[in-house]
Amino acid sequence: MARSYRFGKVYAVLTVASAAFAGWLAYEMLWYGLFWPAVLGAVAVPVAVFTGIGLWRKRRYGFVLLNLSILLGVAMRVYGWFGRSELGLPYRIAEETAFLVVTALIFAYFWKRREEFTARSGAAPDVAAQRTELRG
């Protein structure tokens, strides 16, 4: 019996929606004269769109881009530890813990399904059927 991929599809849609939001923010930053932050925000748009499409269609590039975005997100959070903040230490610890837990859950969900992601243009193969063919 095939496992449901509902969370993967919802996450893919949210990724594309975040791309639209990043595009809007880049436009707003450009409008107010913040050129380089707008450029960085605009670069995030196609990456997020391709990640969402890749996750929706179960393609290997979606899985790889998701892993790279998780790695970048964790690196940005670690970099933020060394900056000044007006937030209290307990709040920062709670925020970092929540971020790491949610990131680990999302990574674990897609990592368990990594065999379902294909590099070819056809539909994702039924992994259980392939394993049965190899055994029998």
pTM: 0.73
In order of 4, 71, 88, 123, the CA distances from 68 in angstroms are 24, 5, 30, 24
| pLDDT tens over the chain, length 136 residues | 567 888 999 999 999 999 999 999 999 999 998 888 888 888 889 999 999 999 999 999 999 999 998 898 888 888 888 878 788 888 888 988 999 999 999 999 999 888 888 876 554 455 555 555 565 5
pLDDT at 107 (0 to 100): 92
The b/e string for 76-105 (b: 16+ C-beta within 10 A; e otherwise) is: eeeeeeeeeeeeeeeeeeeeeeeeeeeeee
Domain positions in the chain: 6-135
Q: How far apart are alpha carbons 87 and 63 in whole angstroms?
A: 34
